[in-house]
Amino acid sequence: MENIVFQCSKELLDKLPQGAYEAKPEKEQLEGLKGSFYGWTGKILTIDRKKAAVFVNNKTRYCILLYPVRKKEFGQLAEYLKEAVRAAFLAEGVRKDVIKAYLEGFDGCRFMKTSDRSAMGSLNLMCGYLDRWFCYDEAPEPGVIQTRAAMKMSDDLTSIDGKYGSGNERLPGALCEMMGYDPSEEARVLGTDVYQLKIKINLAGHNIWRRILVPADYKFCDLHRVIQVVFDWKNCHLHNFMVMEPSKLAAAGVPDDRLCSLKRKLELADGSDPEALEFAELADCEVRLDTEVSLREVFAGNDWCLYNYDLGDYWEHVITVEKLLPDSAERWPKVLEAEGQRPPEDVGGEGGFDEYLAIAGDPDHPEHARMVEWARMTGPREMSVDQVNLRLRRRW
């Protein structure tokens, strides 16, 4: 197994502790890193007045991103980069034994100056995406490792020797080569446990649900983002998840509209809210952030939970685990079936929704035209399952 080498811009090398990098690597060594799966090319960016360290793999153009990076992180850069690679490969559905094999190269990890101009050129082009991502698309993930943004950068088309492709498309082939497999045997390097979930909006008299696949190692904040896409919510309100007693939905013994009255054993608060844990000590159960807890951690012992979106209108969703698909080739979230359309945003909860339906269904009502136009702006869009899956793929 070769040692992993991070080739850094001068500005990035200057941020590393003294003696942490090879000042004068041999020319042959630098040449050997061009196009190497064990070589990464990196630089520093400034985003919103904070430093980011972004690297692209010399062979695949796959990206990893650390942000914000301070003196502490620069002092332990190898450890953070190792965890960033692990998190990205897990999110891409790479088998854990294959990830372990690649990470063995970190045992002799080194830093030195850049040599692969082609990789740096690709990196410069891909970095233009980051400002827009953090300003308009997504807030940074908590902590330093920015897996979602890195995956999105890795989805950009780049040219290597005149052939266009994306980093996440090239990754399986490079992993096959590393493991000594034929490039056509991607199934030997890809495979992750996937949950099949049914998510139903708990609304009396309405049948609104989605059946989806989602990787078991996703955090609940990722499941929140999936739910927002598959129901076409606008993601403009706070949310939380509630894990209730009993652990099996079939044993709940209450109607669906009383599920929220059962005993809570865990609340997963909105990790994007800086005040999410401010009143955690007053809760009647354990409270954690949804950015910290994986689906596997909860669903290993529970076959259901509640998801609440918009804590004013309070749209309650019942999430049921239908099955676990071990070693699946599905790398990204996917909708299998869908029924019904969600209420418009800010309609005023269940009572407001009933009023809206009455007015929208009565062409003679004086507020009919205004209500229909308002719903056009705040309601869900008509989309097929294929269209929703395309939106999911663009987000992951």
Could you tell me if 149 and 235 lie in one domain? Answer: no
Does residue 356 lie within any of the structural domains?
no
1 confidence band (pLDDT: 50, 70, 90): low
Asked if the structure places residue 337 within a domain, the reply is yes
Q: Which residues contact 321 (CB under 8 A, 6 or more apart)?
A: 195, 196, 197, 299, 302, 303, 304
329 and 230 in a common domain: yes
Indicate if 84 and 208 belong to the same structural domain.
Answer: no
Do 138 and 213 sit in the same domain of this protein? no
Q: Name the one residue in this structure whose structure tokens are 């854990």.
A: 96
Query: pLDDT by residue (tens digit) across 58-108?
Result: 999 999 999 999 999 999 999 999 999 999 998 898 999 999 999 999 998
> Between 319 and 395, where is the model more confident?
319
State the Cα–Cα distance between residues 264 and 286, nearest whole angstrom: 9
* Domain containing residue 108: 5-188
Residues 306 and 264 in one domain: yes
Residue 132 main-chain phi, psi, to 5 deg? -65, -40
3-state secondary structure of 217: coil
Domain membership of residue 364 (yes or no) is no
How far out from the chain centre does Cα 109 lie? Answer: 27
Calculate the alpha carbon distances from 175 to 23, 185, 255 in Å.
30, 10, 49
- Answer yes or no: pTM beyond 0.85: no
Q: Is the pLDDT of residue 238 over 70?
A: yes
- Give the pLDDT mean for 35-55: 93
Confidence (pLDDT) at 371 = 87
> What are the residues facing 306 on neighbouring strands?
242, 318
Computed over its alpha carbons, how large is the radius of gyration of the chain?
Answer: 24
Judgement on whether residues 180 and 215 belong to the same structural domain of the protein: no
Tens digit of each residue's pLDDT (9 = 90 or more) over 344-391: 999 999 999 999 999 989 999 999 999 889 888 888 888 999 999 999
- pLDDT higher than 60, residue 136: no
Closest CA to 170 of 153, 161, 183: 183
Are residues 70 and 204 located together in one domain of the fold? no
**What does DSSP say about strands 334-339 and 157-160: parallel, antiparallel, or unpaired?**
unpaired
Please, are residues 53 and 79 in contact by the beta-carbon 8 Å criterion? no
Are residues 62 and 196 both part of a single domain? Answer: no
H helices present in 316-367, as ranges: 349-360
Q: Are residues 261 and 205 in the same domain?
A: yes
Average pLDDT, the chain: 91
